[in-house]
Amino acid sequence: MWCHLPLALPVLGVALFFLFPLAVAAPLYAVVLLASAIMYRELVRVLHLPVKTGIEAMAGGLAYVIEPLAPEGVVRYGGELWQAVGHEQIEQGARVRIERVEGMTVVVHREMPPDRDESPGSCH
C-alpha cells in the first residue's frame, strides 16, 4: 500500500492550500509537483527496462565452487547446483563469476579479490 503513496503526492499536496495562505501554499505545491514529475519520469524509465529472468539473469552473477573446477566441476548459484567449466583450475569454496550459460553448464571465471595495493592506507 505504501508504495502507491508517492503517486498520490499531487493530490495530497492540495491539502497545502487549506493549511497555508496562498502565497506559501502555491510555491510548496510547485515543489511537490516538480518532485512528482521527476519521480514519475524515473518510474516510467525503470518500467521500460527489459526483464531478465532465468538463464538470462545468470550472466554476471556470482557463484561458489562446490566441487573443484579442473576445468570442470560444480558451482552453487542461487541455491542451485550447476555443472561448471572454468578456464583454469579453481579450488573448492572460491567465488566465481558466471560468463554465460551453455545448455545446462555455466562457464565461469575466478572472481578476483580487490587489489590490495589500492587499499586506503597504501602508498603509491
What's the domain range around 69? 56-110
* pLDDT tens, residue by residue, 50-105: 877 778 889 999 999 999 999 899 999 989 999 999 989 999 999 999 999 999 99
- Is residue 117, in this structure, part of any structural domain at all? no
- Confirm whether 15 is domain-assigned: yes
Q: What is the rounded distance in angstroms from the CA atom of residue 24 to the CA atom of residue 91?
A: 66
pLDDT tens-digit readout, 68-80: 999 899 999 989 9
Q: How many domains does the chain have?
A: 2
Whether 33 is in a domain gets the answer yes
CA distance 59 to 73: 18
Same domain, 40 and 85: no
Helices and strands counted in the chain (H then E) = 4, 5
Same domain as 60, residue 29? no
75 within a domain of the structure (yes/no) = yes
Calpha distance 101→77 (Å, rounded): 12
Torsion of CA 76, 81, 86, 90, to 10 degrees: 50
3-class DSSP state for residue 72?
strand
Whichever domain contains 68, its CATH number is 2.40.50.140
Q: Are both 14 and 35 inside the same structural domain? A: yes
